[in-house]
Structure 1
Amino acid sequence: MQSENLRDLNAFVAVADEGNFTRAAARLGLSQSALSQTVRNLEERIGIRLLNRTTRNVAPTEAGERLLAAVRPALEQIDRGFVGLGSLLDHPSGTLRLSADEYAVQNLLWPALERFLPAYPEINVELVTDYGRTDIVRDRFDAGVRRGKLVSKDMIALRISPDLPMAVVAAPACLAARKPPRRPQDLADHDCINLRLPTHGEVFAWTFSKGGKDLRVTTTGRLIFTSIMQVRAACLAGFGLAYLPRGYVADHIAQGALIEVLADWRKTFEGYHLYYPNRRQQSPALTALIGALRHRE
């Protein structure tokens, strides 16, 4: 329905209900002359008189009565729809679809969602693990989580983590069998547990940094996984060295279950951001999640 038709029909119904242009104008917040012109425009557009006017009263014609019977229920339903939308502001609901890589899901989003979901029982969440530069508009996601440099410039981005240092770690038994590497190039003499990125299909390169310069090293080994959880488990079991976010193995390092090597070559990536389209009106559910991430403990 064109917006002018909806506006004019609403004006016509108000006049018919009130039986008076003055009262109807006050109800709609319009001047009497503007309301009268609006109704005349509607009558001229459809080619039939809808209201009989006298100096004292206004009453629908037969055509007006028929139109009232047809449009009043529809307008009432539209009003109920707007009331329902308004309630979302007080009680956010619906489904949030979020795209994030595995580390972000496990260590950033899920800890926040554990606190968020009980507070918003009418919000459902779908978390999709994805390592690519997902087009969240095309793929109908409400938001995504990626490291800062992977976020498109046309998105609104909210930083939700500090920078991300990486670590090369191994179980003590693994390092006892061979001399620990002192340079990234020494990794050629070790079994390395690799991660194949599920979205791209390529093996994740181990990147190091020293003196302001980055060095990418291709590593080999008997094991390749598509999950950092599996990489960590195999590393703890002594099957080789692993390249993982340091925060993901910090407890194991502190407990002595893993030993970090090449710490002076440690690469630190930019932190994670929640990003979403530049929309003037975002969903109340996404607004609630953004607020929770801004004020996370």
Structure 2
Amino acid sequence: MQREDVKDLLWFLEVAKEQSFTKAAANLGTSQSTLSHAIKQLEARLGVRLLTRTTRSVATTEAGERLFRSIAPRFDGIEADLTDLVAFREKPSGTVRLTLSDHALQTTVWPKLARVLAGYADLKVELYADNGMRNIVEERFDAGVRLGESVDKDMIAVRIGPDWRLRAVASPKYLAAYGSPTTPQDLVGHVCINTRQATWGGFYAWEFEKDGRELRVRVDGQLSFNSSIVQIDAALNGYGIAYIPEDLVEEHIAAGKLQPVLDDWSQPFTGYHLYYPSRRQMSPAMAVVVDALRHRGGA
């Protein structure tokens, strides 16, 4: 079958259904003369007359009726398949891969996704938690989650959480034995619990700010982790001072199990942002994730 046969067959079906060249031409967005010429060419190629034309009506011949009953359901099936395909494209399905920190996962991303994923059975989300800055394009992630100040300018960034700060904390037992630092520089003489950064392999330099003065201090101690959660347990057991997201330790502070130090030097960070390449077209699955995570509260 040649390509023009397919088009002409579709035009024949429209004329046979409407029993009118005028109505069929209007439906197809073409002229009556063009439509009539196409049907005549189809009849010539098939070697049979398909339509009986009068000045007032159009009807299918016996051959035309047979052809209509044979091919109409097939084209209807193709149209239905195409409709289903478009629906599949628009239906949130497939896998969305995110790279994020354990803190972002526990406090921001998972609580929000947990409330909506049950409604999207065909949507899969892969959450890769580490404290490194992954190249989301090279490593085939759909998006990443990091603090707003850490997101590259060529990325689209969507705020997904409020500002938050780190707090230096230690157990009363530790502070009774070693005293409390009064300036960030004093941390050099203290036992601290370090954070290993996955991307660069080194330890995180603790960041402080007060009255416009910024300081970065490299601390030392017996223990280092790449997760905030276990650092809390180490601090509770007196292994040193830890620098932990505030929301993870506020209950321990309220209970007196941990005591904050250098609070006046701990300033808020810009909250978590979901970021992804600007050139990437957003899939329906990704749109669900973005909408679920979007921050709708204050700064």
Q: What TM-score bracket applies, with the shorter chain setting the length?
A: 0.7 to 0.9
Provide the residue aligned with 1:168 in structure 2.
Answer: 168
1-structure distance, mates of 2:192, 2:203: 12
For residues 267 and 33 of structure 2, what CA distance do their matches in structure 1 show?
A: 68
Total equivalences in the alignment? 276
Letter in 2 for 1:165: R
TM-score, length basis structure 2: 0.77
Gaps of 5+ in 2: 64-70
Question: AA paired with 2:162?
Answer: P
Aligned counterparts, 1:250-265, within 5 A = 250-265=250-265
Aligned to 1:80: 84
Return closer, same or farther for 1:39/1:237 CA change in 2, 3 Å cut-off: farther
The AA in structure 1 aligned to 2:10 is A
Q: Alignment partner of 1:152: what SS?
A: coil
Cα distance in structure 2, aligned partners of 1:154 and 1:38: 55
Letter in 1 for 2:284: P
Give the Cα–Cα distance (whole angstroms) in 1 for the partners of residues 33 and 233 of structure 2.
74
Question: Where does residue 202 of structure 1 map in the other structure?
Answer: 202
Contact 2:173–2:238 at 8 Å: present in 1 too?
yes
In 2, are the aligned partners of 1:11 and 1:35 still within 8 Å (CA)? no
Given candidates 13, 17, 24, the residue that maps to 1:17 is 13
| C-alpha contact 2:165 2:246 (8 A) present in aligned 1 | yes
| 1:31 aligned partner, one-letter code | T
Counterparts of 1:111-260 in structure 2 under 5 Å?
Answer: 111-260=111-260
Distance across 1 between alignment mates of 2:87 and 2:46? 29
Aligned partners of 1:131 and 1:200 also within 8 Å: no
Distance 2:122 2:275 in 1: 23
Choose 1 or 2 for highest CA Rg: 2
Task: Flag the 1:13–1:232 CA change in 2: closer, same or farther, 3 A.
Answer: farther
Deviation at 1:77, TM superposition (A): 4.1
Distance 1:280 1:190, change over 3 A: closer
SS in 2 for 1:229: helix
Match of 1:85, as an amino acid?
A: R
CA 201–32 in structure 1, closer or farther in 2 if over 3 Å, else same: same
Q: Secondary structure at the match of 1:164?
A: coil
Shift of 1:205: 0.6
**What is the identity, as a one-letter code, of the residue corresponding to 1:135?**
N
- Confirm or deny: 8 A CA contact 2:130 2:226 kept in the other structure: no
Alpha-carbon distance in structure 1 between the residues aligned to 2:14 and 2:226:
68
Q: 1:109-128 CA deviation, whole Å, 9 max, x = no partner?
A: 01112212223333221101
Listed one character per residue, the Cα deviations across residues 126-169 of structure 1 (whole Å, up to 9, x for unaligned) are 10124344333443323221111222223322212222211110
Q: Identify unmatched segments of 5+ residues in structure 1.
A: 61-67
Partner of 2:68: none
Contact 1:112 1:296 (C-alpha < 8 Å) held by counterparts: no
Tell me the TM-score normalized by structure 1. 0.77
